[in-house]
Chain A
Amino acid sequence: MAEGSTKKFLYINRKAPHGSIYALESLEVVLIGAAFEQDVSLAFLDDGVFQLAAGQDTSGIGSKNFSKTYRALGDYEVRKLYVERESLAERGLSEGDLMPITYEDEDDDYAEKPSIHLVDRAEMARLIRDADVVLSF
């Protein structure tokens, strides 16, 4: 795809994963949108950081545990997941509470590299400002 036609898409996730449809809908839009080969980033802030929490178990609420699907994002060339540091801290979470999510870098002998990047609030604001298209869930 020509350089000029690539836009920076930023999907902002700010709600807890279960109990409303936002997180799953966002994830599905990301998976569908990945076919259009744009420059895609995901942002997780506020309660959205819970979407990436490790060890989710939905068996008690009878809904699908789609948290495993975030680990497939690398296969869809979605490799930039930005998590707001302050949102984690405000909820008593740290990076160690998140699922490891990686992608294979084909330019580096398919080395597994982390997709999750912690950013502070100011940096998150910059990411949002720099995006061409912002979709908020």
Chain B
Amino acid sequence: MSAYQFNGSAVAHDEEGYLVDIAEWSPDLALLIAKSENIEMAPEHWEVVNFLRSYYEEYQVAPAVRVLVKEMTKKYGKEKGDQKYLYSLFPYGPAKQACKIAGLPKPTGCV
């Protein structure tokens, strides 16, 4: 199994880069995963990543994109609850790529 080299230790990930053990996540590890995805983490990225983590904490599931859009709209307004905006932050899919950086499993139903 492949792994992220992080602080002198190996953190295992699956063949697509999702953490095997979500308990190993930390904000610093998120920066490293983001870098491997060619994403420079700005506050806007963190907002989405943190939102996903709190959604997962509450419901034990990573939300589908349209649920993410709906819930972001509720929390941060229309401008941020917007597919285009979210894709501009995470070009390979807000749910898929942001979940990876957030240390969460790939969203259910995402191929």
Residues of chain A having any CB pair with chain B under 8 Å: 28, 31-32, 34-35, 64-66, 68-69, 71-72, 75-76
**In the bound complex, what is the Cα–Cα distance between A35 and B67 (angstroms)?**
10
**In the bound complex, what is the Cα–Cα distance between A92 and B78 (angstroms)?**
47
- Is there a chain A Cβ closer than 8 Å to B45's Cβ? no
**In the bound complex, what is the Cα–Cα distance between A35 and B61 (angstroms)?**
15
Residues of A within 8 A of B61 (CB): 31, 66, 68-69, 72
Decide if B71 touches A75 in the complex (CB within 8 Å).
yes
- Counted as pairs of residues, one from A and one from B, with CB atoms less than 8 Å apart, the total is 37
CB distance from B95 to the nearest CB of A (A): 12
- Is there a chain A Cβ closer than 8 Å to B32's Cβ? no
The 8 nearest A-B residue pairs measured at CB: A32-B109, A72-B59, A68-B60, A69-B61, A75-B67, A31-B108, A69-B60, A28-B108
- Is there a chain A Cβ closer than 8 Å to B70's Cβ? yes
Report if A76-B60 is in contact (Cβ < 8 Å); known contacts: A28-B108, A31-B108. no
Residues of chain B having any CB pair with chain A under 8 Å: 55, 58-61, 63-64, 66-67, 70-71, 108-109
Measured CB to CB, the nearest residue on chain A to B66 is A35
Decide if B108 touches A65 in the complex (CB within 8 Å).
no
**In the bound complex, what is the Cα–Cα distance between A31 and B70 (angstroms)?**
15
Residues of A within 8 A of B60 (CB): 64-66, 68-69
20 further contact pairs, Cβ within 8 A, besides A31-B61, A31-B64, A65-B60: A28-B108, A32-B109, A34-B64, A35-B64, A35-B109, A66-B60, A66-B61, A69-B59, A69-B61, A71-B58, A71-B59, A72-B58, A72-B59, A72-B63, A72-B67, A75-B63, A75-B67, A75-B71, A76-B64, A76-B67
Decide if B70 touches A75 in the complex (CB within 8 Å).
yes
